[in-house]
Structure 1
Amino acid sequence: MKNIIYLMHCITGVFLITSLVMCAKKTDAVKTPVVKTVKDTTETSITPPIVPSIPTFTIKPADWFFDAAAVPAGAIIYIPAGKRDALLLKNIKGTVDKPITVINQGGKVTISATASASYGLKAQNCQFFKILGNGASGVKYGIDITGANIGVTMDDRSTELEIGNIEVRNSGFAGIMAKTDPSCDVATQRGHFTMSNVILHDNYVHQTGGEGFYIGNSFYADGVSLACGNVLPHDVVNAKVYNNIVDSTGCEGIQVGSATVGAEIYNNTVKSPGLKPFAAGQDNGIQIGEGTGGKCYNNLIKNAPGNGIIVLGLGDNLVYNNYILNSGGHGIFADSRYTPGPNFQFINNTIIAPALDGIKLNSETIPMNTVINNVIIIPGTGIAVNRKSKSVKLISLNNYTSRDVNACQFVNYGAGDYHLQSTSPLINAGADVLIYGVSFDFFGKARTSANGFDIGATEY
């Protein structure tokens, strides 16, 4: 009997200990988690990592300039919502990993400058920074700049920059400018300064007296003559101009010069550029200027009084998937002014109703001009692809020409729907262009050899 009683006490004790252990585990589940190791059964509390706060600064509404010399890398500089005068930003110095961001706060910022003011918003001697107008929900262009000679200018050796979601209007000259003109200070000259990673996107630039976008210097080959002699402008490396809307500019809608490496101009809409040019020949849609290589693609260019696209580049230029409509000059014009590169390539563009030729090639010093899979409708001269002379070397393949835009069988050309109907003669009539790096169309649809290649900017 004693043994039985003793056994029952033991069993009761086990149940009690088990119950206590189970309760302890349940309690721990709602407390701070613990970490256990095999060798050490000591329970250690996990301390959440400390997330450093981002330093913030605010530009007061009455301030006409902000010196960021004391602002650390990675900080945010706020521009509060409301109206203000022209603003100068100086000495912003972020890093590649921690750029400094200037952004609107609490709504839309309107910078209204007088017509006599040299700028609306200026960045001077700034590196690794962003100026963004996406700081308020529901406001696409959260920084609105009106008036002044230049709406936005990035100069005095500013580099490594991004400008996005800004509206610029009513400037006397350029809408957005990014360059440091060479001076007798050697620090501004080629070989001593390079403007790198200039990213301009999702901006709306309109009603300007000069160019909508003015990136880099226009005189790459010859430079400019100053009291100290002839000086050369700096290179621009990795310029990206994309997703912008440009409307009603005095000169070119987008002009990029001296952009020697990595330039890309894409997904922009340029309407009615060149309305009041300062001189003849400054009324084009997009200008790929002297010293500029790279790509120009997926742009829509309408109603340019001059050429839709003018190419004066380095000779490593690829122009493709562009819609060029109703140009007053040529659809595309190419000239070899300073062109050490191997080729101009014009592939899968759709050019409709240019007043002159569809594509005019004055590029006599280029080793080869490549014109493939382009649609050219109703050229005013009746000439789709025109060479200045027999000195212009040309490969021309699978281009489609017609005197009737309806022959292309767009879904609704008049309403701006440039997709193709299933019976379009452009479908599967093109050459393979994957070897040129043209792997998608105007709408981003893949071009593949599986279904054949279509002619023009749109793949069915």
Structure 2
Amino acid sequence: MAVVGLSVETDNLGMRKRNYTMRGITAIMAMALFTMCAKKTAGVETGKPAGDTTIVINPTNPTDPIIDCTYTVPASQWQVDGAKIAAGSVLCIPAGKRGALLLKNLKGTADKPIIIINKGGQVTFTAAASAGYTFKTQNCQYFKIMGNGAPGIKYGLVVNGGNIGMTMDDLSSDFEIQNIEVRNSGFAGIMAKTDPTCDVTTQRGHFTMKNVFLHDNYVHKTGGEGFYVGNSFYKDGVSVACGNVLPHDVVNARIYNNITDSTGCEGIQVGSAVSGCEIYGNTVKSPGRTPFASGQNNGIQIGEGTGGKCYNNLIKNAPGNGIIVLGLGDNLVFNNYILNSGDNGIFADSRYTPGPGFRFINNTIVAPASDGIKLDSETIPMNTVINNVIINPGSGTAVFKKSSIVKVTVSYNYTNKDINTCRFIDYPNGDFHLQSSSPLINAGADVSSYGVVFDFYNSTRPSGNGFDIGATEFK
């Protein structure tokens, strides 16, 4: 299996980050090649001609796709080289247990992506914790890895073990990962990045990872981050043998509708996502169980070089900050429920922030051990804190400014020591809808100019005579 080289760096807040690079295959393993023929040959089943395959949704049962396979990858095959696989092909992985899998050189197109999907039931990939990965893509573009190939099974592909559970690496781009369960990885659960090396093709300006869609996955019991997308050191880069090099940009990333639970570090961490980034609809439970260093135990980290939106997420029991924002300064954080953080509900700092400001709008923050929203963002032109609910911060401070240099607009926020004053339908059991008697109703500012025109449940804002405070709009 692949051997992982590990280098550890520490940023100026003492938050240690790792740069992992795969260094090839060190064990000599026989490669089973695809054979194209009209019947089963050497464990590879050929269906219709490559490029002439489809996945049709069954109209009577949309969760049961009718799969027309180009290839079937047998359990004995650990590597698929796609150099001769046409765009639009469908690679079916039959149900059962198997070892690690490496996909390389798959080249679909925007109109005809290559699809990798389970067939006949659930597939479980297992590798030892000492293995570099359990599922890896190398130099692949325009592909989809889908675990919805069998009826009644939400996570049809299970990735178990490995140092990195699932990694889209080595110049991979333009991909979608869905309905995958990842568990028991030594480090990250799902990773998407190519760390820069002395090879100029890996560096900023020469390679951009685009169109990254990670959704409806379940990542749990990892040694590091649940999701690790993009490099952490956007501004200063990383030191390699040939000097300091800058990591690639990530453009148009969507991380949504995922569940993370009991991750060693952050549930979701995104860096270097310079445009089109959205993190939404995720549930992050109990992150930061075994962090590599203090400061790596947050719920969601919006890292250096990352702009865009973070909304409609539920973050529970983070030992550190619920959400930490180190982004570009064009960040909009709204409609999030952040419950029982061990430090601040939201923490914002300025690293590389040429944008106009951080905007924190209509979040509901309950019982953080320190501040509700802590602003160390001294170089930001203007921070905006509007329509947030902040309940019982341990420090007693709803919005904290590091110094007088921090510029902030604070308005229409609701603070109280008692969650019951908000009058949710059933807060202990996770029903955050408002009772008609809630003081939050129609008490907020009009935030439509910021694009906040829906709530945590995707209901339209406003629904009454005014905007409500907090993540939920009364219906």
After TM superposition, the score normalised by the length of structure 2 is 0.85
Please give the alpha-carbon distance, in whole angstroms, between the structure 2 residues aligned to 1:52 and 1:203: 29
Match of 2:43? none
Contact 1:357 1:380 in 2 (8 A): yes
Per-residue deviation, residues 212-259 of structure 1 (Å, max 9, x unmatched): 000000000000011101000000000000000000000000000000
Tell me the SS of whatever aligns to 2:167.
Answer: strand
Please give the alpha-carbon distance, in whole angstroms, between the structure 2 residues aligned to 1:59 and 1:312: 42
Contact 1:237 1:260 in 2 (8 A): yes
Compared CA separation, residues 449 and 405, structure 1 to 2 (3 A): closer
- Runs of 4 or more, structure 1, over 6 Å off, are none
Contact 1:210 1:250 in 2 (8 A): yes
What is the one-letter code of the residue matched to 1:225? S
Contact 1:284 1:308 in 2 (8 A): yes
Please give the alpha-carbon distance, in whole angstroms, between the structure 2 residues aligned to 1:140 and 1:374: 35
Please give the alpha-carbon distance, in whole angstroms, between the structure 1 residues aligned to 2:142 and 2:238: 28
Contact 1:440 1:446 in 2 (8 A): yes
Match of 1:248? 262
Match of 2:157? 143
Match of 2:425? 411
Match of 2:14? none
Match of 1:349? 363
Please give the alpha-carbon distance, in whole angstroms, between the structure 2 residues aligned to 1:211 and 1:450: 41
Compared CA separation, residues 390 and 53, structure 1 to 2 (3 A): closer
Within the candidate set 437, 440, 448, 2:454 is matched to: 440
Question: CA shift at 1:68, angstroms?
Answer: 1.1
| Unpaired segments ≥5 residues, structure 1 | 1-50
Contact 1:325 1:352 in 2 (8 A): yes
Question: CA shift at 1:53, angstroms?
Answer: 4.8
Match of 1:162? 176
Tell me the SS of whatever aligns to 2:254.
Answer: strand
> Is residue 2:405 matched to residue 1:369?
no
Question: CA shift at 1:69, angstroms?
Answer: 1.1
Match of 1:91? 105
Contact 1:420 1:458 in 2 (8 A): yes
What is the one-letter code of the residue matched to 1:201? H
Match of 1:326? 340
> Is residue 2:460 matched to residue 1:452?
no
Within the candidate set 298, 318, 335, 1:304 is matched to: 318
Within the candidate set 165, 171, 195, 1:181 is matched to: 195
What is the one-letter code of the residue matched to 2:455? D
Within the candidate set 376, 399, 403, 1:389 is matched to: 403
Please give the alpha-carbon distance, in whole angstroms, between the structure 2 residues aligned to 1:450 and 1:203: 35
Please give the alpha-carbon distance, in whole angstroms, between the structure 1 residues aligned to 2:258 and 2:345: 21
Please give the alpha-carbon distance, in whole angstroms, between the structure 1 residues aligned to 2:329 and 2:175: 27
Listed as ranges, the matches of 1:66-145 within 5 Å are 66-145=80-159
Match of 2:23? none
What is the one-letter code of the residue matched to 1:156? D
Question: CA shift at 1:260, angstroms?
Answer: 0.2
Question: CA shift at 1:448, angstroms?
Answer: 2.6
Contact 2:228 2:269 in 1 (8 A): yes
Please give the alpha-carbon distance, in whole angstroms, between the structure 1 residues aligned to 2:52 and 2:210: 29
Within the candidate set 263, 266, 279, 2:280 is matched to: 266
What is the one-letter code of the residue matched to 1:62? S
Per-residue deviation, residues 342-386 of structure 1 (Å, max 9, x unmatched): 010000000000000000000000000000000000000000001
Per-residue deviation, residues 291-342 of structure 1 (Å, max 9, x unmatched): 0000000000000000000000000000000000000000000000110100
Compare CA radii of gyration and give the structure with the larger one: 1
> Is residue 2:413 matched to residue 1:399?
yes
Please give the alpha-carbon distance, in whole angstroms, between the structure 1 residues aligned to 2:157 and 2:95: 9
Question: CA shift at 1:451, angstroms?
Answer: 2.5
Within the candidate set 402, 409, 425, 2:439 is matched to: 425
Listed as ranges, the matches of 1:20-39 within 5 Å are none
Match of 1:191? 205
Please give the alpha-carbon distance, in whole angstroms, between the structure 2 residues aligned to 1:230 and 1:53: 45
Tell me the SS of whatever aligns to 2:421.
Answer: helix
Please give the alpha-carbon distance, in whole angstroms, between the structure 1 residues aligned to 2:413 and 2:170: 46
Question: CA shift at 1:115, angstroms?
Answer: 1.1
Contact 1:167 1:203 in 2 (8 A): yes
Q: How many residues align?
A: 410
Tell me the SS of whatever aligns to 1:146.
Answer: strand
Contact 2:82 2:104 in 1 (8 A): yes
Within the candidate set 285, 303, 309, 1:295 is matched to: 309
Please give the alpha-carbon distance, in whole angstroms, between the structure 1 residues aligned to 2:165 and 2:244: 29
Tell me the SS of whatever aligns to 1:406.
Answer: helix
Contact 2:348 2:377 in 1 (8 A): yes
Per-residue deviation, residues 37-65 of structure 1 (Å, max 9, x unmatched): xxxxxxxxxxxxxx955560111110111
Within the candidate set 193, 206, 221, 2:220 is matched to: 206
What is the one-letter code of the residue matched to 2:438? S
Please give the alpha-carbon distance, in whole angstroms, between the structure 2 residues aligned to 1:448 and 1:334: 28
Please give the alpha-carbon distance, in whole angstroms, between the structure 1 residues aligned to 2:134 and 2:153: 20
Over the matched positions of the two proteins, sequence identity in percent amounts to 73
> RMSD of the TM alignment (CA)?
1.0
Contact 2:121 2:149 in 1 (8 A): yes
Tell me the SS of whatever aligns to 1:414.
Answer: helix
Per-residue deviation, residues 119-167 of structure 1 (Å, max 9, x unmatched): 0100000000000000001000000011110010000000000000000
Contact 1:86 1:112 in 2 (8 A): yes
Please give the alpha-carbon distance, in whole angstroms, between the structure 2 residues aligned to 1:275 and 1:347: 28
Tell me the SS of whatever aligns to 2:428.
Answer: helix
Contact 1:432 1:449 in 2 (8 A): no
Match of 1:219? 233
Higher helix share: 1
